[in-house]
Homo-oligomer: A and B are copies of this chain.
Amino acid sequence: MKILNKLIKPVHAHCDLMCGVYDPTQAKIEAQSVLAIMKKYQESDDEVFKQRCIYLKEQRAQLVKEHLWVLWTDYFKPEHVEKWPELHDLFWRATKQAGEAKKSVDPKDGEKLLELIGEIEKIFNQTKK
């Protein structure tokens, strides 16, 4: 825990400009879109439509990643990591799962992504109390 201690000492905010307007809903909406595309892909047999699904899912999953990364780096602070030591790993698995959702057309991968974002949301909500 030496690393954490080194970091915790100067407890000041590191958000880029404007603490306060962070919201995991942004990542969740894009992930819902990823899941919806996966389902539509499975139901369709129109080749053009399916190709567009692959491309649009890629973009949406990328936005999930970006919203999660911003939340991780800019919103959360050392005192949060001290209280929820699983935080780093949770974000790592969630962003990796967003990468997985780029590769997969199986709705289960979209659902797994939403579950991980749900875990992040739960912690986020507790920090707001």
Chain A residues within 8 Å of B, Cβ to Cβ: 3-4, 7, 14-18, 20-21, 23, 25-26, 29, 32-33, 36-37, 40, 48-49, 51-56, 58, 65, 69, 72-74, 81, 86, 88-90, 92-93, 95-96, 99-100, 102-103, 105
Contact = CB atoms under 8 A, between A and B. Distances in A.
A14 B58 contact: no
Which of A49, A55, A100 has the most B CB atoms < 10 Å from its CB?
A: A55
Given A17-B40, A21-B33, A74-B99, A54 B51 contact: yes
Contact of A52 (B20, B49, B58, B65): B58
Q: How many monomers of this chain does the complex have?
A: 6
A14 B99 contact: yes
Shortest Cβ-Cβ A-B pairs, 3 listed: A88-B88, A73-B95, A14-B96
A84 to B, nearest CB: 11
